[in-house]
Amino acid sequence: MVAALRYPVRSDLMRVGDLGAPTGWYSPGYLPLRTARDGDRSPDAEFAAKLKPLVGKAILDPDAGLTPPQRDDVGKALDAAFGTPAAPAVRVPSAEQAAALKLEEVFGEGLPEGKTAADALADARAEAEAAKDRLGLSDDALARGGVLYRRRCLSCHGPTGGGDGAHAVKAAAPPRDYRQGLFKFVTCAPAGTRKGVVGKARKEDIRRAVRKGIDGSMMPPFAHLSDAEVDDVAAYVIHLSVRGEAEFDTLTRVIQLATNPRDDDPGYSPEFAAQLVAQKLLLTLGNWARADAAVIPVPPENCPTELDRLRSAARGYKAFAGTCAGCHQDYGRAPQLKYDMWGTVVQPRNLLLGVYRGGRRGEDLYARLYAGIYPSTMPDSKAKAANPPAGQPDELWDLVHFLQALADPRERKLLQQLDPSIKLESGGG
Ligand code: HEC
Ligand code: HEC
Which atom number of ligand 2 is nearest to the Cα of residue 365? 29
**CA 129 from centre of chain:** 23
How many CA atoms within 13 Å lie on the side-chain side of 102?
Answer: 16
Cα of 368 from ligand 2 centre, angstroms: 8
Q: Is the pLDDT of residue 116 over 90?
A: no
Residue 252 sits in the same domain as residue 361: no
Residue 197 sits in the same domain as residue 326: no
Cα of 153 from ligand 1 centre, angstroms: 8
Ligand nearest to the CA of 184: 1
Residue 286 sits in the same domain as residue 315: no
- CA dist., res. 327 & res. 307, Å (int): 29
Tens of pLDDT, residue by residue over 408-419, are 999 999 999 999
- CA dist., res. 380 & res. 311, Å (int): 24
Helix, strand or coil, per DSSP, at residue 88:
strand
| Domain-embedded: residue 163 | yes
Residue 286 sits in the same domain as residue 312: no
Q: Is the pLDDT of residue 429 over 60?
A: no
Question: What is the DSSP annotation of 197-221?
Answer: TBT---HHHHHHHHHH--TTSSPPP
Which atom number of ligand 2 is nearest to the Cα of residue 356? 27
Ligand nearest to the CA of 367: 2
- Taking residues 300-325, what's their average pLDDT? 95
Which one of 156, 198, 237, 345 would you pick to mutate in the ligand 1 pocket, going by the greatest count of ligand atoms within 8 A of its CB?
A: 156
Tens of pLDDT, residue by residue over 255-273, are 999 887 887 778 899 999 9
Which one of 1, 149, 153 would you pick to mutate in the ligand 1 pocket, going by the greatest count of ligand atoms within 8 A of its CB?
A: 153
The residue type found at 32 is P
Q: Is the pLDDT of residue 118 over 80?
A: yes
Residue 136 sits in the same domain as residue 276: yes
For the purposes of burial, counting CB atoms within 10 Å of the CB of 370, is it exposed (0-12), middle (13-18) or buried (19 or more)? buried
Q: Is the pLDDT of residue 162 over 80?
A: yes
- CA dist., res. 322 & res. 280, Å (int): 39
| Domain-embedded: residue 45 | no
What is the CB < 6 Å shell around ligand 2? 184-185, 320, 323-324, 326-328, 338, 340, 346, 348-349, 351, 356-358, 365, 368-369, 373, 376-379, 381, 399, 403
Residue 263 sits in the same domain as residue 395: no
Which one of 182, 186, 328 would you pick to mutate in the ligand 2 pocket, going by the greatest count of ligand atoms within 8 A of its CB?
A: 328
**Neighbour tally for 256: CB within 10 Å:** 15
Higher-confidence residue: 224 or 171? 224
Helix, strand or coil, per DSSP, at residue 345:
strand
- Sorting pLDDT into bands at 50, 70 and 90, what band is 428? very low
Which atom number of ligand 1 is nearest to the Cα of residue 155? 5
The residue type found at 85 is P
Q: What is the CATH number of the domain that holds 386?
A: 1.10.760
Percent of the chain past pLDDT 70, that is, above it, reads 97
Instruction: For the chain, report the end-to-end CA distance as a whole number of angstroms.
Output: 55
Q: Alpha-carbon Rg of the chain, whole angstroms?
A: 23
Which of 266, 293, 320 is the last residue in one of the domains? Answer: 293
| Domain-embedded: residue 284 | yes
Give nearest CA residue, ligand 1 atom 36. 153
- CA dist., res. 54 & res. 15, Å (int): 9
Tens of pLDDT, residue by residue over 274-288, are 999 999 999 999 999
Residue 232 sits in the same domain as residue 91: yes
Which of 251, 266, 293 is the last residue in one of the domains? Answer: 293
Residue 314 sits in the same domain as residue 250: no
Cα of 375 from ligand 2 centre, angstroms: 11
Give nearest CA residue, ligand 2 atom 5. 324
pLDDT at 100: 83
Which of 232, 267, 293 is the last residue in one of the domains? Answer: 293
CB-based contact 335:350 (threshold 8 Å): yes
Residue 3's H or E segment, with its range, is none
pLDDT at 427: 58
What is the CB < 6 Å shell around ligand 1? 152-153, 155-157, 167, 171, 173, 175-176, 183-186, 201, 205-206, 209-210, 214, 217-220, 222, 233, 237, 357
- Taking residues 107-113, what's their average pLDDT? 70
- If we measure between CA atoms, which residue out of 351, 366, 364 comes closest to residue 408? 351
For the purposes of burial, counting CB atoms within 10 Å of the CB of 313, is it exposed (0-12), middle (13-18) or buried (19 or more)? buried
Give nearest CA residue, ligand 2 atom 37. 324
Residue 112 sits in the same domain as residue 228: yes
Cα of 219 from ligand 1 centre, angstroms: 5
For the purposes of burial, counting CB atoms within 10 Å of the CB of 301, is it exposed (0-12), middle (13-18) or buried (19 or more)? middle
Residue 233: domain span: 14-19+58-293
Q: How far are the Cα atoms of 89, 136, 153, 183, 239 from residue 142, in angstroms, in the given order?
A: 7, 8, 14, 20, 8
- Taking residues 317-328, what's their average pLDDT? 94
Structural domain total, the chain: 2
| Domain-embedded: residue 241 | yes
- CA dist., res. 161 & res. 176, Å (int): 8
- Sorting pLDDT into bands at 50, 70 and 90, what band is 170? low
| Domain-embedded: residue 52 | no
- The least confident of 33-42, 74-83, 210-219, 306-315 is 33-42
